[in-house]
Structure 1
Amino acid sequence: MIGATCTAFIFILGLFPVLQQAFTKALEKAVQQRLAADASTLISVARIEEGRLSMPEKLPDEEFDILPARQLGFIFDSQGKLVWHSRSAKQYEINYQPRYDGRGHEFAKIRDSQEQEFFVYDIEIDLLRGQSAAYSIVTMQPVSDYKPMYKSLRRQLNIWLAAALICLLSILWLGLNWGTRSLLRLRAELDEVEAGQRKLLSDEHPRELLRLTGSLNRLLENERQQRLRYVHSLDDLAHSLKTPLAVLQGVAEVLATQPENKEQARTLHNQVSRMSQQVSYQLQRASLRRSGLIRHSVKLAPLLEPLIEALNKVYLDKQVDVQMRFSREQRVPVEHGALLEVFGNLLENSYRLCLRQICICVQTYEQYCEIVVEDDGPGVPASQRERILRRGERLDTQYPGQGIGTAVVKDIIDSYQGLLFIEDSELGGAKFRIIFPLH
C-alpha cells in the first residue's frame, strides 16, 4: 500500500508539468489565432492609393484605436520601415524588425527596451485588394495580459490534481484492502493455529491461495502425526524399560540382604538408578521439543500451585515461604509439559538448598517474557555456573542424584530459543533468570 501510494504520488507529480506544458502550448496557440485574426482585420481595411498605404481613421476593432487597449498593430514595408501603427501602440518603444523573406507568417515572443515580453504575429502580404504590395502586418499583445489567467489556471490545476490524487489513493487503498482481505483472513487463521485454537486452515479462501493452504494443512497434519508417533514410541519405550529396571532393582534388594553381596548390591542399585534417570532425561529431551508452527501460551499460576503444594509437603520441616510476584492471568509462551519440567527442576533445587525463602517473579515485555526464580540459600559461585548446566555435573553431593536437572532445564529453554542466566540474588542465594521470546 505504501508502494502504491508513492507510485501514485510520483505519477501526479510527473503529470503536473506535462499538463502545465500542454496548457501553455494551448494558450500560445489561442493567442496566435487571436493575433492572426487581428492581422486579418488590418489587412481587410488597408488600401493602396497611388502606390502608398492608406489606413482608415477608425479601425473596425476598437482595441487598436483606444489608447489604454493592450492590442497593438504595426505595418512595415519590405525594407523593414514602420509605415503605420495603431494608436494603442504609441506608448510602447518596441524595437522590432520584421524579416520580409517569403516565409509567410511567424509567431514568436520579443522583449522591448523595458524587458516587457510580447507575443508577436508577423504575416507577409504581396497583394492587397488585387494590387501589388509588399508589407509585413504585425500584431502584438503583452504576455502580462495572460499572467492572471495563467496563475488562476495553475492554481486550479493544483487543486484538481490534489483532488485527483486523493481520489486515486482512496481507490487504490480500497482496491488493495479488498484484494488483501483473503491474506488477512489467512493470517488470522494462522494466528489461531499458533495459539492452539484451530487445528487446520479452512478452505474458505480464494482459488489462488488454496494450494498454499493445502500445503500448510498437510504440513500441520504431518507434524501432528509425527508428534503422536513420538509420544507413542516414548510411551512404549518407557513401558518396555520399566519392567526390566524394576526386576534389576528387586535383584539388588535381594542381594543386599546377603552380607557378602552388600557391596555388589549397592553398586547394582546405583547403576540401575543412574540408568533410570538417564532414560528419563533422554525421554524428556525427545518429548519436550517446541513445535515449529504451534505457539503455546500457558497460565502460570494454575501450573505452579499444585507443584508448590507437593514440594511443601516434601520439605515440611523447612516451612518455606514462596512469594509469587505475578498476576493470576500471567501467561508464559511455553508448552505445558515443558514449563512444568522447568519449574519442577528449578523449584526442587531451590527448596532443597534454600533457608526459608523463595521468590518467583514474572514480567512480560514487548518482545519477551522474563522469569526469575531466586532463593536465600548458599548460591552458586561464579566459577561454577557454567559447570552445573552440563549434564552429570553436581555441586551438592549430600543428596542423591545424577546432576541432570539443570541440563534438562537448559535444553528446554534452548529449544524455545530462550536464554538462561545464573546470577546472585538479593535474597542472598542463587537467581535463575530465564527469557522466552514472544514471537
Structure 2
Amino acid sequence: MIRSLRLRLMLAAAVLALLFMLALLPALQKAFSLALQESIEQRLASDVTTLISAARIDGGKLQMPDLLPDEKFNLPDSRLLGYIYDRQGNLVWRSRATNDENINYTPRYDGRGNEFARIRQDHGEEFFVYDVEVKLLGGKSAAFSIVALQPVREYQQTLNGLQEKLYLGFGAALLALMLLLWAGLTWGLRSLRRMSVELDDVESGAREGLSAEHPRELLRLTGSLNRLLRSEREQRGRYRDSLDDLAHSLKTPLAVLQGVSESMAQREGEREQARVLQSQIERMSQQIDYQLQRASLRKSGLVRHQVALHPLLDSLCSTLAKVYRDKQVHITYAVPDQALVPMEQGALLELLGNLLENAYRLCLGQIRISLRVSDTALELCVEDDGPGVPVHQRERILQRGERLDRQYPGQGIGLAVVKDIIESYDATLTLDDSPLGGAAFRIRFPLD
C-alpha cells in the first residue's frame, strides 16, 4: 500500500496523463496520415499538370517532348511515374522512370474528371494514383487519361518517421509533465509538511499547539487538533489533581487505622488482632500506591516526551547507594552522554526506580546499566550479579497481571508497575541471564 500522499497524487496524475496521451495518439496519427495523403495528392496533381502542359496533339496523335519541364520525369532512376492512356485504355506514353516498373493499371474514363486512389499490385506493392481525364489538349479535341503515381512505401516511411517522433515527443512531454507535477505537488504540500513539523514540535514539547499560518482548507483541521490538545492537557491536569486528592483522602484514614493498630498491639490480649490489622493496612497501602501509579503514569496520546537518561540515573543511583551503603555496590554505565529515552520523566523515574531498587537489593555487589540505539529501536538494559530468575518462571513473571511479590517475597509490586508502564509506551520487556551472573531486564522501545 502506498502511504505517501504525494506519490499517490503523482501516480494518479501519471495514469490520467498516460491515458489521455494514449487516446490522443491515434487521433494525431490519423490527422498526420490525412495531411500527408492530401500533400501527396496535391503533388501528384501538380505532376499531372506538368504532363498536360507538355502534351501536344499532332494529326490526332499525342506528341510528348523528349525532355519534360520537370526534370524528375526525365531521370530513369526517379520515382516520379507518369503514364498517358487513350480513351480505349491503351498506353500511349510513359515516363523514363517507369521502364523498370510493371504496373497493372486500367484508367477509368467515366467523365468524373479526376480521381485520387490507392491501388495494390499483384506482387503486393501499393501506389497512390492521381488520374485526370483530358478532352482538350493544345486547344484540340482529345480524349486521354493522364496518370501520375507514387509508391506507398515512401508515404509509409514518412508516416513511420512521424510516429516515432510523436512517440518520443509524447514521452518527453510526459516526463516533463511528471517533473512539473512533482514540483507543483511539492510546493502545494509544503503546508502539510509545515504542519507535520509543528506536530513534531508539539510531541517534543517545544510548542503547545499548531499555528494559524496554514492554508484556509487546513484551518479547520488545525483548529480541531488545537482543541484536542487543550482538552487533553486540561483532562490530564484534572485527572492528576483527582488522583492527588484521592491519595490524600485514602492515606489519612489509613494513618488513623495504623495508629489504632499500634495502640491495640500494646495490649496483651489484642496483639494478634493488631498484627492482622497492620498486615491488611500495609497491603491496602501497597494496593493504593500501585493503582495510583498505574493510572497516573500513562503517557499522553499526542505528546511525545524525551528524557535525558544520565541525570536521572545519577540521581537514582545516588539515593539507592545511601540506602544500601552497607553493600558497597559498584555500578557501571554503558550509556551515551546525550542519550534520550522516549518516555515521560515521571514514568521513566518510576520504571528505573523499581528496576534499580530490585537490582540493589538482590545483587551481590555489581550492577550494569547499558543503552543501545539502532535505526529501529532503543534498548535499555539493567543487569546485576544476584541470584537471577529461574528460566521456568520468566514467562509467568512477565505475563500481564502476575505479581512478583507472590512468587518471591520482598519483590513487592515493583515489576508489575514496570510492566504496566512499558506496555503503555508500546515497548517490550524481556528477562534474560546476565553475563554478570544475575538477571538482565531488557526494555526495547520501537523508534518511529
Whole-Å separation in 1 of the counterparts to 2:20 and 2:414: 65
- Of 250-259 and 282-291, deviating more is 250-259
Matches within 5 A, 1:104-123: 104-108=114-118, 110=120, 113=123, 118-123=127-132
Within the alignment, does 1:211 sit opposite 2:220 as a pair? yes
Amino acid in structure 1 at the alignment position of 2:271: K
The equivalent position to 1:385 in structure 2, one of 394, 407, 413, is 394
Percent identity between the two aligned chains: 56
Q: Is the 8 A contact 1:285 1:412 kept in 2?
A: yes
Within the alignment, does 1:174 sit opposite 2:152 as a pair? no
Matching residue of 1:45: 54
Whole-Å separation in 2 of the counterparts to 1:225 and 1:22: 70
Q: Is the 8 A contact 2:77 2:97 kept in 1?
A: yes
Closer/same/farther in 2, CA of residues 56 and 236 from structure 1, 3 Å limit: same
State the 1:166 CA deviation. Answer: 4.4
Closer/same/farther in 2, CA of residues 102 and 184 from structure 1, 3 Å limit: farther
Q: Is the 8 A contact 2:118 2:126 kept in 1?
A: no
Indicate the SS of the match to 2:405.
coil
State the 1:149 CA deviation. Answer: 5.7
Closer/same/farther in 2, CA of residues 414 and 46 from structure 1, 3 Å limit: same
Deviation readout 1:231-258 (Å, 9 max, x if unpaired): 1101111121222122222222222222
State the 1:307 CA deviation. Answer: 0.6
State the 1:365 CA deviation. Answer: 2.2
Q: Is the 8 A contact 1:387 1:393 kept in 2?
A: no
Matches within 5 A, 1:260-299: 260-299=269-308
Q: Is the 8 A contact 1:297 1:332 kept in 2?
A: yes
Indicate the SS of the match to 1:340.
helix
Matching residue of 1:195: 204
Aligned residue-pair number? 436
Indicate the SS of the match to 1:394.
helix
Amino acid in structure 2 at the alignment position of 1:67: P
**Structure 1 gap segments, 5+ residues each:** none
Whole-Å separation in 1 of the counterparts to 2:107 and 2:305: 90
State the 1:93 CA deviation. Answer: 2.5
Whole-Å separation in 2 of the counterparts to 1:258 and 1:228: 46
Indicate the SS of the match to 1:343.
helix
Within the alignment, does 1:124 sit opposite 2:133 as a pair? yes
Within the alignment, does 1:408 sit opposite 2:417 as a pair? yes
Whole-Å separation in 2 of the counterparts to 1:365 and 1:262: 58
- TM, length-normalised to structure 1: 0.89
Deviation readout 1:80-104 (Å, 9 max, x if unpaired): 3322111232232323333445554
Whole-Å separation in 2 of the counterparts to 1:266 and 1:110: 119
Q: Is the 8 A contact 1:315 1:351 kept in 2?
A: yes
Whole-Å separation in 1 of the counterparts to 2:67 and 2:225: 91
Q: Is the 8 A contact 2:48 2:148 kept in 1?
A: yes
Matching residue of 2:326: 317
Deviation readout 1:251-271 (Å, 9 max, x if unpaired): 222222223222222212111
Matches within 5 A, 1:252-267: 252-267=261-276
Whole-Å separation in 2 of the counterparts to 1:12 and 1:299: 57
Indicate the SS of the match to 1:264.
helix
Matching residue of 2:3: none
- Of 135-144 and 13-22, deviating more is 13-22
The equivalent position to 1:361 in structure 2, one of 363, 370, 387, is 370
Matches within 5 A, 1:75-114: 75-101=84-110, 104-108=114-118, 110=120, 113=123
The equivalent position to 1:394 in structure 2, one of 400, 405, 410, is 405
Amino acid in structure 2 at the alignment position of 1:429: G
Whole-Å separation in 1 of the counterparts to 2:386 and 2:445: 25
- Of 103-112 and 304-313, deviating more is 103-112
State the 1:52 CA deviation. Answer: 3.6
Within the alignment, does 1:430 sit opposite 2:439 as a pair? yes
Deviation readout 1:123-170 (Å, 9 max, x if unpaired): 334555676654332112345556776676566556644553444333
Amino acid in structure 2 at the alignment position of 1:60: P
Indicate the SS of the match to 2:189.
helix
Deviation readout 1:274-326 (Å, 9 max, x if unpaired): 11111111111111112111112211111111111111111122222222212
Whole-Å separation in 1 of the counterparts to 2:366 and 2:381: 14
- TM, length-normalised to structure 2: 0.88
Whole-Å separation in 2 of the counterparts to 1:283 and 1:42: 111
State the 1:372 CA deviation. Answer: 1.9
Closer/same/farther in 2, CA of residues 119 and 397 from structure 1, 3 Å limit: closer
The equivalent position to 1:138 in structure 2, one of 138, 141, 147, is 147
The equivalent position to 2:230 in structure 1, one of 212, 221, 225, is 221
Indicate the SS of the match to 1:385.
helix
Whole-Å separation in 2 of the counterparts to 1:259 and 1:132: 157
